[in-house]
Structure 1
């Protein structure tokens, strides 16, 4: 069993101030547009958008209004995620109006909390006698987890304890309900979230019982006799959802085996990566090597056999789930936004356990492609599903593709993704660096400043980055005093080892280990490190077992995956073929939203007109030469409804 070394911790958000030509625009968009828009959506004040009912439910539970509970059973979680996003935004950009809105929501939540500490509007308003009777379906601990995460974020951002005290009272109550002791429920939630949240609460309060409770929920999962089956039988073999019949499907909840025995990612993809995140958290804090080994096994399975090139995971809309290795369809994919965000959570925890460039590569892949691609450039429309191929008419008329949307909706009845995007982007500073006693690890190349303590010496580091359009990155250091420490730089997989490092103008290589270049020296104020990363245009092919991509190629440049839209290349996109030697070139196109580098090259287009109404024929294919244009995947669907594909056919070039 591998011994984990070089553990590190994320540099706190308050110690990282981002100022980046690419990412600052998104963070500002979330702060100025997405957060206010989502606030109004949660209050049901946006005309033409499906009501959320989330805040209204809290008002009823708090006794401020009369009425019936409406919305999903987990509607509380949308409010909690919005609060978390708002807290991160306040941490990096004080805003009196937003702070007042946050404080008012916190007052409402506190009023809705029950005398014993319980807090869930569905069970308070609609089913007050049925607490904890259907953990399989009803998300009680999931909602609690999101509330706890929001409370910790708010406390760290503002120093105010009101929401943290609410969360602690709730967690203390949960601790009296669940555990191995006689008289407690020996169970866990159907949707993992409470586990990683309790670790955060432990970090904020140093209360050991919260860490122990997180450990209990992880250790209890998958043991026989299976809790969900026992609970189902106690309910008279009934489910919360009328469409669900039969006993709970244990793999869907990752409860089919004890977590340390799980080696293949199965079931609901968001639940899975939230659980894996908690497992990695606990492995880091307890030194549990068997838990770490399970994390590594599950990571390897996801990344090498079940992940889309865009960083999406979860290939079927049936259960929003993983299926089997290499089953990665492009046009019926699910790839929920929340799943990629959860994968980023998991990746960062793995980086904290052991610096390995693959973890940061995946974090970066999901961030640059699926996460920001899920939000329109106006900040008010969002994808829940992130397809790699879209035929709009089929999305409307083929029931098997009904979940795939050709344009981003304004809101959802199940609105988990929009506030999840907001909370990730407002907390993005926490994903750039980790540090330990003597090393600062740079995982993402995003411009800004940070200050860390290395060997007792306060070090300020300024990063400037030209990614994703150029591979030039510069670090300038200002230590309190000249001292020896290490700056560890990720060498991304997409540059294929083509990286040049210069310190004060002199080229160096450093020690290369697990995809990081370790530059150890006595650093003095004003020292500069320059990193030049190759941004070659790559034609990427999928493993032969990925049947959906046989004979096809995708385009990648740096961290960005590209796609082909019919607005540039004509419809149908399926009629386009990339030439064997397409002579791909890049140029900056200022006419795209925000401006972006596009890729152009030679290819072929089959013409439908020559078929004269035939459906099939034996004649050879007829195609005309065409200049093809690809745009970054994150921008697709921002120029009106049209066809899109990431993978297109390519002429064979046999060797």
Structure 2
């Protein structure tokens, strides 16, 4: 297959299912697959040597390196107890402190389940005891580490915001609630960790802490009317609805279920339940956990509306908002559907989003097993999750950039980051065995081809899966032990990209399986020693991008392939490679099939390339998406294409600092302060404005020599005027009024040399004129003037 689209690979397994349905229509045979399924417990699965087993061990070393007492610092300090160790830096020293501990608790449980390491369990129990002590000292049911920044800049115990909220004093934004950074998001992480520890081995103290914490916030929410509740829910709250649903499941107390259903952000969730895609310009990972919560509520209550919302969201994101590696969002935000080709940047694919999309996938698959769910899951797991952890030092990525030539950035062993994606990363790489084997009724399903051994209690069986997949196309399942021998179906997933081309053997003899819903099913009497093998084709293929057939990626089986553009230490300043010709795959030659390495000849411009699996490019620069041209089309477009690239690269090469206005982390990194100023989203871009009487101000780095400040604006604004100041010196007054209809445009402001001389940074301040608005400004950049230029 030379060419496919995202919809085709998502629908591939469904196509296989239709083949099976057509066969059944003649013979009127009932479905052989189970109506529902559940994974074999993680504790029943042990990984055999592979990159996945390496990732678990690397992550286990990382968990050992972290200090529970350092993560507990604020929990004790804010409760009036003496901390036992200094606080960590990065986000743990900001007002979102505490979110990492929740992730760490969950990761400890998962690692104990995946490996049997008793130190993981000991640490988890220790943390629960410490939290119980801090909770008892407070005496309110609350326990937490989050901070609150007061108007005078002082950071204090974040609990003080909740009495204000109960009194109706609510100042809520996308990530700030009364001066605390996403506090309910942090509360959710702590809830999840407590519930995971309780579920892991029945730690009753963990459930007791969770119930008391749940009661505290039940009182907070009870003080709010519906409008106030929606205002609070306008600030990121993670999957707090899921936590309360799970608390009900553990205790049977219906107040928790009622609260789970009340934690419902109507602005986001109502359209999804109604089947409407209004995701553009929403922060992506803020939304995914809400849908996981809806999925859990559906599982508990059986109500159809939560399931509709969760299912529609999954279909929409995977089919219309996802990149080829399975991740989504550019600079953390969804864009319009089917616009991925316009958002291939250095800020694509936040790992948290994919981690949570994989969790949501597991819920939906359990409701009705269908191979297409694991077509997505496998793609995201292999190409994004595995790319997001450095296999040597255990660092994690925040974004996984897909822009050509951009290297990945990982957290370091200094433990000074603690981004959200560090938290989801330590969970993701603790549990690579959790979705390989599933069961439903009498059926055993194999969804991921990862070397592993598992106990299947239903049949008192031990099964072993041997494979070099995805480097090789064969996988063999052996019944190492089968105490309850007998007849039952074994279902092996046939990925949609295989187009039903799967060869199956039982004990070395070819068989004709039954194909249904993306599976090759063998229904027979099984006994100890039996083996079943599946072989899948691993041909290269070109896949088009949703909404733009002229932008393509190259895949081999489930693997996204990348052009290797050199090491991270090698500067990349060449034009983006483009694909030229009618039959591009004819120009690929296997250089080392065992490691999926290829060379190209004559089909790329400006030069031939080497291709390797994208996930393995930890310390390398890559190209994944390629603009595709015919020979004639390339001759026409080459000059303009290269000129545009050269201009963009010239500015990028001279750039000293870039400010992505309206985005959470860049604004924090640049020390943004503001008043009567708001983040905005328009046409897929984030920005910020300031209203009359307000301002916004931030720090930008400079370097010696003439500098230029550049602002980006939308070309169809109504008349407005504002001043731009650098270190309190006005450098420009900007007037906007229908400057460039239908397009964004840039304005350059040369800075007087005296403004930057001898400085490492400056403060940029934007002030609207009276009765006017400043901006919106969709980003600002400081770059060096060309040699010889004067201000």
TM (norm. structure 1) is: 0.77
Mapping for residues 521-540 of structure 1, pairs under 5 Å: 521-540=524-543
The 1:55–1:181 alpha-carbon spacing in structure 2 relative to 1, beyond 3 Å, is: closer
**Residue 263 of structure 1 aligns with which residue?**
276
Displacement of 1:518: 2.7
1:652: Cα distance to partner?
2.7
Aligned to 2:461: 459
Shift in Å, 1:325: 0.7
- For 1:164-243, list aligned pairs within 5 A: 164-178=207-221, 186=229, 189=233, 190-205=236-251, 209-218=255-264, 221-222=265-266
CA displacement at 1:354 relative to structure 2: 1.2
Contact 1:340 1:370 in 2 (8 A): yes
| Structure 1 counterpart of 2:145 | 121
From the superposition, tell whether residues 23 and 131 of structure 1 become closer, same or farther in structure 2 (CA, over 3 Å): same
* Cα distance in 2 for residues equivalent to 1:588 and 1:210: 56
Task: Name the counterpart of 2:670.
Answer: none
Q: Does 1:81 align with 2:110?
A: no
In structure 1, the partner of 2:161 is 130
Sort the Cα spacing of 1:173 and 1:18 in 2 relative to 1 into closer, same or farther, 3 A.
same
Give the Cα–Cα distance (whole angstroms) in 1 for the partners of residues 54 and 141 of structure 2. 40
The alpha carbon displacement at 1:653 in A equals 8.0
* Mapped contact 1:149–1:201 kept (Cα < 8 A): no
- Residue 617 of structure 1 corresponds to which residue in structure 2? none
What is the Cα deviation at residue 363 of structure 1? 1.0
Give the direction of change, closer, same or farther, for the CA distance of 1:83–1:115 in structure 2 (3 Å limit): same
What pairs up with 1:114-513 in 2 under 5 angstroms?
Answer: 114-122=138-146, 125-131=156-162, 133=165, 134=170, 137-138=176-177, 139-178=182-221, 186=229, 189=233, 190-205=236-251, 209-218=255-264, 221-222=265-266, 250=267, 254=268, 257=270, 260-264=273-277, 266=279, 267-315=282-330, 317=331, 320-328=332-340, 329-391=343-405, 406-410=408-412, 413=417, 415-454=419-458, 457-477=459-479, 478-513=481-516
Matching residue of 1:57: 74
Q: Provide the C-alpha distance between the structure 1 equivalents of 2:277 and 2:564, rounded to a whole number of angstroms.
A: 34
Q: 2:52 is matched with which residue: 15, 18, 23?
A: 23
Residue aligning to 2:63: 35
2:263 is paired with a residue of what secondary structure? helix
- Once residues 589 and 201 of structure 1 are traced to their aligned partners in structure 2, the CA distance between those partners, rounded to angstroms, is 50
| Change over 3 Å in CA distance of 1:527–1:204 after alignment to 2 | farther
Measure how far apart 1:332 and its partner are.
Answer: 4.7
Aligned to 2:616: 635
What secondary structure sits across from 1:541 in the alignment?
Answer: strand
After superposition, residues 569-584 of structure 1 pair within 5 angstroms as 572=574, 574-575=576-577, 577=579, 580-581=583-584, 582-584=586-588
Q: Structure 1: which 5+ runs fail to align?
A: 45-53, 223-249, 393-404, 591-595, 607-622
- Paired with 2:364 and 2:130, the residues of 1 have a C-alpha distance of 37
Say whether the 8 Å CA contact 2:96–2:147 is kept in structure 1: no
Partner of 1:564: 563
Post-superposition offset of 1:558: 2.0
Partners of 1:517 and 1:213 lie apart in 2 by 43
**Residues 146 and 92 (structure 1), Cα distance of their counterparts in 2 relative to 1, 3 Å cut:** same
Q: Distance in 2 between matches of 1:209 and 1:439?
A: 37
Structure 2 residue aligned with 1:397: none
Q: Which moved more, 1:93-102 or 1:380-389?
A: 93-102
- Deviation (angstroms), 1:101: 3.8
3-state SS of 1:631 partner: strand
- Contact 2:455 2:461 (8 Å CA) reproduced: yes
Distance 1:27 1:264, change over 3 A: same
**What is the alpha-carbon distance in structure 2 between the residues aligned to residue 459 and residue 361 of structure 1?**
27
| Partner SS, residue 395 of structure 2 | coil
Deviation string 1:411-443 (CA, Å, 9 cap, x unpaired) is 665611122112122123222233222222222
Q: 1-side partners of 2:422 and 2:299: how far apart?
A: 30
1:30 deviation in Å?
0.8
Q: 1:226 is matched with which residue?
A: none
Count of residue pairs the alignment pairs up: 560
Distance 1:161 1:516 in 2: 41
In structure 2, C-alpha distance between the alignment counterparts of 1:585 and 1:199, rounded to whole Å: 53
Change (3 A) 1:465 1:285: farther
**505 and 171 in structure 1: CA distance in 2 versus 1, 3 angstrom threshold:** same
SS of 1:168 mapped into structure 2: helix
Residue 493 (structure 1) shift: 1.8
Tell me the CA shift for residue 537 of structure 1.
1.4
* Aligned equivalent of 2:684: none
8 Å contact kept, 1:540–1:553: yes
**Counterpart contact for 1:178–1:184, Cα < 8 Å:** no
Shift of 1:203: 4.8
- In structure 2, the residue corresponding to 1:428 is in which secondary structure? coil
Aligned to 1:225: none
With 74-83 and 13-22 compared, the bigger mean Cα shift is at 13-22
Aligned partners of 1:265, 1:502: CA distance in 2, in Å? Answer: 47
The question of whether the paired residues in 1 share the 8 Å contact of 2:110 and 2:427 is answered with yes
Q: State the Cα distance separating 1:633 from its structure 2 match.
A: 1.4
Q: What is the distance in 2 between the residues matched to 1:508 and 1:8?
A: 25
Greater gyration radius: 2
Q: Is the 8 A contact 1:18 1:449 kept in 2?
A: yes
1:396 — aligned with what?
A: none
Please give the per-residue CA displacement for 1:59-113, whole angstroms capped at 9, x wherever unaligned. Answer: 3123233899973333211111012112211223344554444344333322222
Aligned-CA RMSD value: 3.4
Show structure 2 runs of 5+ residues with no match.
1-32, 149-155, 633-791
Q: Distance in 1 between matches of 2:561 and 2:53?
A: 22
For the structure 1 residues 128 and 409, does the alpha-carbon distance in structure 2 shift closer, same or farther, using more than 3 Å as the test? closer
Counterpart Cα distance in 1 of 2:97 and 2:109 = 19
